[in-house]
A and B are shown apart, each in its own frame.
Chain A
Amino acid sequence: MSRDLLVKRSILFFLACLYCFLSSSSLLAGEYIDSAHGSSTAGVFRPVIGDAPPQGFGYSRGNCAHCHEQHASIGGSEPVPTTGGASSYELFANNFDTTQKTIPYTESDNFCFYCHNNPTSAQLVVNNDYSQNFGCAPQGPTTIMSAMNQRSYHNLYDVWNFSKDKFSWFTTYSNPCDACHNPHLAKRNWANAKDPAYSAISKPTDHFALWGTTETMDSSYNTKYEPPYCSSSLLNREPNASIDAATGRANTPDYVDFCITCHTTTNTIFSTSLNRNLTAINWDSNGDKHGLRLMDGSVSTKAPYAPNSSGTDFVLSCLDCHEAHGSQNVMLMRRRANGSDLTSTIATFDTKNWGLICLKCHKDDAAAGVGPSNYWEYVHHLVSDAPYFEQGPCVTCHTRGDGFPIDCQECHTHSGTPTKADTRGAGIGTYRIPF
């Protein structure tokens, strides 16, 4: 055999070995062990299951047994927490208490709360809210359960009630958290907040895949999406102080498409918390102006939404304004938006404090240099194309007759079928879409 032939065969043999090695390696790694729960270093760990004997059974972190008891027992008895008989999906406790229709939630109401809670009977998992983890806010609630036990929250019973009739994989025994999360796939996005590959969400219509890993605000909207500022310096963007706008939009999952899986114009979703059906959301071009509908006049925005090279029409991500789990404000409004904290809570529906979040992106009188903060004469009456440029009888709108601002939500709300407001320009009606 010639030396050249020997070399060639050696190379081929090496490549063949490398292929076999890589092939076998790929078989060893899977979606579960890459998930937050399945990680052998950061995954699920119920102490009685994972602690070394005699205190525990010595299972590896991330093992199925931390959540599932295949025989409704381990070693012939039920490990703590002892919750009685066998539970659905072989879980160690009841999956979801469908009689618990509103807050306050307790640990036993939802299986996930055995870990996503503090203190817990199993494993304490810290999860900060979106405002903090992705929006640079100071410390807020530290667990999912505590986030939900606030003024507004994604009502778990309502999620369960809607999902069981809507999604084929979702059963009456399912956990409402699963509507948005697949616990066997969800990754630790909070620990990798700038990398959407670590998505924690799955669309309920595609439960067995992660959402947002490649479906980002960038891929869906490109420069139509302007990531909000994050740090108070206004030098970086969401999520999690991404270095610039391009990076920020590439780092943000397409939450719009995710949320409108349920919050459509056609789905009827009853809210036990609100005691009414939820307002339909229409993010299309014939819907809200915070979505794809084009502006119909100036909106007096602040940076980074002020007119720029990308144009003046933008699309917002739902999570630019809303928390996913719960909030100290009504309607899950975030406690920080576009680089600064709200100066007060929005504690009721009928309050001028709505303006505290509006002013994060729109110019109030203070920003326009014509008056105090959270006063809105400038955008309504003074700007050149003001919708109420013509000063008419004040009490037509200012029914209290005191000249003080009207609560924003009286005119500006989501609407599945937006209608034009009877605005008055310089002598003529302008009829603008108000949201």
Chain B
Amino acid sequence: MINIVRLFAVTFIILLPLYSLARVTGPCVNCHTMHNSQNNLWVADSATPNPALLVADCIGCHTGQNTGVNTMPYVFSTTPPQYGTTGTEADTNTLAGGNFYWVSNVDDRRGHNIYGLAGPDQILTLPPGGDGTFSGQLRCAGTMGCHGDRTVSEQISAVKGSHHYKDHTTWQPGTTIAASYRFLDGIQGLGDTSYEYHPTDLKHNKYYGFDRTAESETPDGTISSQCAQCHKNYHNGASSLTSSGTFATGVWLRHPTDYDMSNAISSDEYQLYNNSSTYGNNIYSVISPVATAETSTTVNTQVFAQANDAVVMCLSCHRAHGSPYAGSMRWNYKAWPAGGYNGCAICHTAKN
């Protein structure tokens, strides 16, 4: 009996740090202020208190430079981040979504021009590929944003409380805001606990994807379906993706997403994903990652290892927040082949 108690105690002690990593930790004052006043000075970022008694809004909290030690993911840096060639190299300090620095400081093409970080897009008045229903400048969360409850207009209210209930150690089923991948309402996935700071094939986000058979399908919970909320025609819709409407019977009109590459192995082009010499158990690429329909907490370190684990997604090519490259691409596609980098060849192995 004593041994069983000891076993439980040891197990608890081992698991405790993991559990602590899973959600917001530390003193309340790190994030909240009761009166927005300390020594007769503001505590928040202005004299006007923030909702939820927060000391800062989304941008205020998530601005900084990632070091690999910080538990707060920094998505915006005020000085040029280290991105490298693909944002995955050992000397980089950006995360999975990239960084808003470039869209804020260089031009509109290098990321999502979030209100507060960049001015309204001077080129795109509406989201490209959209159905015209979304207009206005993008925000981090809420009805005009990507994160949180997209029926709530005020963005802090849209994510209110969810940070307290986030558990990174479990598969995010998308049932609540807190249980959604990166607070993207309804989106499934498994987030890397360091947000892909120096990702490897063994340590990275696990994106949820679905192998569709028709262009009209709108799968719930996939990471690409999130993008499709604004960029609809790039993901689904009649005559948007294929010449026939049905996958595998026509040819692509636009680059597919939520489509498993194992369906397209008539040539060896995709079989050799990530420079593999053989088909099956190809090593996962953090440069041009793929989503999977498998929903366990085991990170997908290999591709073509099981059914529907090679699902093309928007994030196979793009960074959600921003990158140094046009189109918020993960690599400098525009400069290739004279320079730049051909991340396309991770999948399109014959196009190198």
Which A residues are within 8 Å of any B CB, using their own CB?
27, 29-33, 38-41, 43, 57-65, 70-73, 75-76, 85-90, 168-169, 171, 173, 184, 208
CB distance from B111 to the nearest CB of A (A): 14
Q: Could you tell me the dominant secondary structure of chain B's interface residues?
A: loop
- Whether B338 lies near A61 (C-beta < 8 A) is yes
| Across-interface contacts of B345 in A (CB, < 8 A) | 30
- Whether B344 lies near A40 (C-beta < 8 A) is no
- Whether A60 lies near B352 (C-beta < 8 A) is no
- Number of residues in B with C-beta < 8 Å to the partner? 33
- Whether B337 lies near A59 (C-beta < 8 A) is no
Specify which of B123, B253, B344 lies most central, judged by the most chain A CB atoms within 10 Å of its CB: B253
Having A27-B275, A75-B109, A75-B123, one finds 18 other A-B pairs with CB under 8 Å, namely A30-B350, A32-B350, A33-B337, A38-B337, A38-B351, A39-B337, A57-B334, A58-B334, A59-B335, A60-B336, A60-B340, A64-B351, A71-B128, A75-B124, A89-B251, A171-B250, A184-B350, A208-B267
| Across-interface contacts of B338 in A (CB, < 8 A) | 40-41, 60-62
| Across-interface contacts of B255 in A (CB, < 8 A) | 70-71, 90
A-B contact pairs, 25 of them (CB 8 A): A32-B352, A33-B352, A38-B337, A39-B337, A57-B326, A59-B334, A60-B336, A60-B337, A63-B334, A71-B128, A71-B254, A72-B254, A73-B128, A73-B129, A75-B123, A75-B124, A76-B126, A85-B253, A86-B239, A86-B253, A87-B253, A90-B253, A171-B250, A171-B251, A173-B250
A275–B339 alpha-carbon span in the complex (Å): 51
Cβ proximity bits B190-201 to A, threshold 8 Å, 1 near / 0 not: 000000000000
Cβ proximity bits B309-345 to A, threshold 8 Å, 1 near / 0 not: 0000000000000000010000001111111100011
A87–B326 alpha-carbon span in the complex (Å): 23
CB distance from B255 to the nearest CB of A (A): 4
Cβ-based interface call for B3 (8 A): no
CB distance from B107 to the nearest CB of A (A): 9
- Whether A60 lies near B266 (C-beta < 8 A) is no
- Whether B243 lies near A173 (C-beta < 8 A) is yes
- Whether B335 lies near A31 (C-beta < 8 A) is no
Cβ-based interface call for B134 (8 A): no
Closest residue of chain B to A33 (Cβ to Cβ) is B337
Which B residues are within 8 Å of any A CB, using their own CB?
109, 123-124, 126, 128-129, 234, 239-240, 243, 250-255, 266-267, 275, 326, 333-340, 344-345, 350-352
A86–B252 alpha-carbon span in the complex (Å): 9
A64–B123 alpha-carbon span in the complex (Å): 23
CB distance from A280 to the nearest CB of B (A): 30
A308–B216 alpha-carbon span in the complex (Å): 70
A47–B238 alpha-carbon span in the complex (Å): 31
CB distance from A169 to the nearest CB of B (A): 7
Which of A59, A86, A168 lies in contact with B240, CB distance below 8 A? A86
Closest residue of chain A to B253 (Cβ to Cβ) is A86
| Across-interface contacts of A86 in B (CB, < 8 A) | 239-240, 253-254
Query: A27-B275, A30-B345 are contacts. A71–B129 as well, Cβ < 8 Å?
Result: yes
CB distance from B264 to the nearest CB of A (A): 12
| Across-interface contacts of B275 in A (CB, < 8 A) | 27
Query: A40-B338, A88-B251, A89-B252 are contacts. A76–B128 as well, Cβ < 8 Å?
Result: yes
Which of B336, B344, B350 lies in contact with A31, CB distance below 8 A? B350
Which of B123, B334, B351 lies in contact with A60, CB distance below 8 A? B334
- Whether B254 lies near A70 (C-beta < 8 A) is yes
| Across-interface contacts of A85 in B (CB, < 8 A) | 239, 253
CB distance from B4 to the nearest CB of A (A): 54
Closest residue of chain B to A89 (Cβ to Cβ) is B251
| Across-interface contacts of B128 in A (CB, < 8 A) | 71, 73, 75-76
| Across-interface contacts of A59 in B (CB, < 8 A) | 334-335
CB distance from B259 to the nearest CB of A (A): 14
A165–B191 alpha-carbon span in the complex (Å): 48
Closest residue of chain B to A70 (Cβ to Cβ) is B255
Closest residue of chain B to A77 (Cβ to Cβ) is B128
| Across-interface contacts of A58 in B (CB, < 8 A) | 326, 334
Query: A30-B351, A71-B128, A71-B234 are contacts. A88–B243 as well, Cβ < 8 Å?
Result: yes
A171–B251 alpha-carbon span in the complex (Å): 8
CB distance from B194 to the nearest CB of A (A): 28
Query: A76-B123, A184-B350, A208-B267 are contacts. A40–B337 as well, Cβ < 8 Å?
Result: yes
| Across-interface contacts of B266 in A (CB, < 8 A) | 168-169
> Which 7 residue pairs are nearest across A and B when measured between Cβ atoms?
A30-B352, A86-B253, A76-B128, A40-B338, A60-B338, A70-B255, A76-B124
CB distance from B110 to the nearest CB of A (A): 12
Which of B254, B334, B350 lies in contact with A208, CB distance below 8 A? B350
